[in-house]
């Protein structure tokens, strides 16, 4: 099989870190905070590497957009089994406003340039929860897009005779679909359990190539049409009140003007 898979990976604030809003209310604090690969992207990488191990694809290319630090994220993908990486350099103000639309334009351009047959992405990123990039990329390329929905069991992604076979868990049971390649697949949480990037693989990954590309080289304009006006913490949860009898409850509700 000569298929090539493009996997998008995003560097996000680690899921266990407590987020703090910047004092000037323009965003959240990111400097020095622990970052790691988006958990959904880890699953995407794992799925791509599994396909390569089943010899259904020939090459896995990991892509990330951002400043210098995203190279660590690409290295982790390389350590998990990707063959080479592409770092799309976006920094400063452009990086702060980078969103699904620009990323999908970049991925679409790269897919054409690299002649990828399959794009696997995480379903959403845990920092913005947009769940848009996969769908937008497919639309821009005019490719089919599917999300192998999870359930209690891991679902499957397979390549059979130039078509992508996806097994999804739905309410009524299992649904098997065949999609034409090339296609975009977005990975949800229980698709697989990502492997650890072990130290010997990290050392080997240092020798794998990461190419540097600028969005302008791909003919993509990363300016944003969205402007963030303000970022605020969610409102503090107010303490509840315990009441002893139904009378009290009715009384309190009346007090609050609810009845």
Q: Which residues bind other proteins (CB under 8 A)?
A: 14, 16-18, 20, 22-23, 29, 31-34, 36, 193-196, 198-200, 202-203
Nearer to other proteins, 170 or 239 (CB): 239
Nearer to other proteins, 20 or 178 (CB): 20
The residues pairing with 175 across neighbouring beta strands, listed in sequence order, are 168
| Least gap, CB of 45 to other proteins (angstroms) | 13
Cα separation, 135 vs 146, whole angstroms: 9
Question: Residue 57 to residues 19, 134, 138, 151, 226: CA-CA distances in angstroms?
Answer: 39, 20, 20, 26, 38
| Least gap, CB of 129 to other proteins (angstroms) | 20
> How many alpha carbons fall within 13 Å on the CB side of residue 70?
23
Nearer to other proteins, 200 or 240 (CB): 200
| Least gap, CB of 205 to other proteins (angstroms) | 12
Angle value at C-alpha 170, between 165 and 176, nearest 5 degrees: 20
| Least gap, CB of 33 to other proteins (angstroms) | 5
**Tokens matching residue 176:** 């098997």
List, in sequence order, the alpha helices (H) in the chain: 39-53, 70-80, 93-96, 100-114, 133-141, 199-205, 246-255
Nearer to other proteins, 200 or 257 (CB): 200
> How many alpha carbons fall within 13 Å on the CB side of residue 149?
11
Nearer to other proteins, 157 or 220 (CB): 157
| Least gap, CB of 51 to other proteins (angstroms) | 17
């Amino acid at each position: 099989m000569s298929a090539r898979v493009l996997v998008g990976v995003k560097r996000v604030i680690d899921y266990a870190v407590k987020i703090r809003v910047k004092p000037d209310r323009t965003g959240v604090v990111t400097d020095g905070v622990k970052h790691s690969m988006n958990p959904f992207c880890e699953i995407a990488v794992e799925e791509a590497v599994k396909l390569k191990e089943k010899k259904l694809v020939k090459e896995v290319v990991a892509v990330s957009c951002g400043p210098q630090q995203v190279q660590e994220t690409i290295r982790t993908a390389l350590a998990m089994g990707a063959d080479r990486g592409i770092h799309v350099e976006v920094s400063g103000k452009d990086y702060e406003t980078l969103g699904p639309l620009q990323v999908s334009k970049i991925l679409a351009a790269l897919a054409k340039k690299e002649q990828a047959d399959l794009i696997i992405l995480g379903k959403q990123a845990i920092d913005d929860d947009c769940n848009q990039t996969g769908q937008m990329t497919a639309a821009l390329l005019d490719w089919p897009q599917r999300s192998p929905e999870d359930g209690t069991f891991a679902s499957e992604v397979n390549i059979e005779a130039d078509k992508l076979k996806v097994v999804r868990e739905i309410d009524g049971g299992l649904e098997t679909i065949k999609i034409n390649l090339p296609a975009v697949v977005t990975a949800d949480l229980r698709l697989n359990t990502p492997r650890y990037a072990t130290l010997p693989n990290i050392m080997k990954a240092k020798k794998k190539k990461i190419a540097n590309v600028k969005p302008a080289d791909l003919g993509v304009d990363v300016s944003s049409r969205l402007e963030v006006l303000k970022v605020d913490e969610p409102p503090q949860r107010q303490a509840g009140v315990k009441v002893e009898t139904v009378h009290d409850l009715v009384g309190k509700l009346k007090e609050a003007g609810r009845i």
